[in-house]
C-alpha cells in the first residue's frame, strides 16, 4: 500500500481555486490531510504544489521559495481587482506610451522594491483575510512589504498587451506589479493572464493535470 504523504506538483487550470485542487486530491487519494503550498488565484494557471499527509507541516518552508511567472498585462485599464475578473474602474487608453517607455519602466522594477499587498489577496491583517474584507466593500490600509524582482523580460509588445516573464521573491503579487507598472506609465494596467512556472526548484514541466492525479504522483518533499 502506498504511503499517502509527500507532495504532488499540479498544473492548475484557469477558472478553479487552489482549494478546488485540494478537494480534488482529497477525493482521488481518499485522504483528508491535504493542503497547498501557496495560493494561485482562479485567473492564474500553472504550478501549484499540493502537500499530503505529514508534508502539510512543510508549508512555511515552501513560502520562502522564489517563483517564476509569465503573464500578460493590459495597458489603459484599471480594475477593482488588478486583473480581468474585476470591474473596470478607469479606462484611459494608452496613447503616447511608446515601446521604449514600456521597456524602460519594466526595467526600473528590477531589484528590491516596496509593494503594497492588494485588497483581493489572501494575506491576513489583524486576523482577517484581505479578500474577505474586499468582498464586503471594505478597504483598509496595508503596510508595504519589501520584495525583490530578480529579473523581468518582455516577451512581446502588442499594444495594449504586454507579455512578460518575471522571477521574484516570496510575497510578490503579480497583479500589483502590473498595477504599479501601469501607474508609472501613467495609463494604468491590469493582468489578463498569469502562469506560474516554478516554485524554488520545482517546475511546471514536472506537474500533473488534475484529472490525471493518483497515488503514483506523490513524491518526497526534497527541499
CA dihedral (57, 63, 68, 69) positive or negative:
positive
Give the Å distances, CA to CA, from 41 to 45, 176, 195: 8, 13, 10
Phi, psi of 130 (to 5 degrees): -60, -40
| 180 part of the active site | no
Cell numbers 507579455 correspond to 163
Pair type for strands 45-52 and 189-199: parallel
Which is catalytic among the residues 20, 23, 41, 143?
41
Cα-to-chain-centroid distance, residue 23: 20
| Cβ partners under 8 Å of residue 13, min gap 6 | 45, 209, 210
Show which residues are catalytic.
41
Amino acid at each position: 500500500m502506498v504511503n499517502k504523504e509527500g507532495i504532488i506538483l499540479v498544473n492548475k487550470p484557469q477558472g478553479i481555486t487552489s482549494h478546488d485542487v485540494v478537494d480534488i486530491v482529497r477525493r482521488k487519494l481518499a485522504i483528508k490531510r491535504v493542503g497547498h503550498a501557496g495560493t494561485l488565484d482562479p485567473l492564474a494557471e500553472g504550478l501549484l504544489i499540493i502537500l499530503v499527509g505529514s508534508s502539510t507541516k512543510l508549508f512555511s518552508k515552501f513560502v520562502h521559495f522564489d517563483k517564476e511567472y509569465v503573464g500578460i498585462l493590459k495597458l489603459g485599464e484599471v480594475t477593482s481587482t488588478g486583473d480581468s475578473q474585476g470591474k473596470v474602474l478607469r479606462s484611459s487608453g494608452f496613447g503616447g506610451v511608446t515601446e521604449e517607455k514600456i521597456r524602460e519602466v519594466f526595467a526600473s522594477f528590477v531589484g528590491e522594491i516596496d509593494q503594497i499587498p492588494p485588497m483581493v489577496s489572501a494575506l491576513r491583517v489583524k486576523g482577517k483575510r484581505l479578500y474577505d474584507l474586499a468582498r464586503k466593500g471594505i478597504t483598509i490600509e496595508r503596510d508595504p512589504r519589501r520584495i525583490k524582482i530578480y529579473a523581468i523580460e518582455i516577451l512581446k509588445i502588442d499594444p495594449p498587451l504586454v507579455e512578460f516573464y518575471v522571477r521574484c521573491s516570496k510575497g510578490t503579487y503579480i497583479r500589483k506589479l502590473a498595477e504599479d507598472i501601469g501607474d508609472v506609465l501613467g495609463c494604468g494596467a491590469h493582468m489578463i493572464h498569469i502562469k506560474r512556472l516554478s516554485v524554488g526548484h520545482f517546475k511546471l514541466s514536472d506537474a500533473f493535470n488534475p484529472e490525471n492525479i493518483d497515488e503514483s504522483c506523490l513524491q518526497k518533499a526534497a527541499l
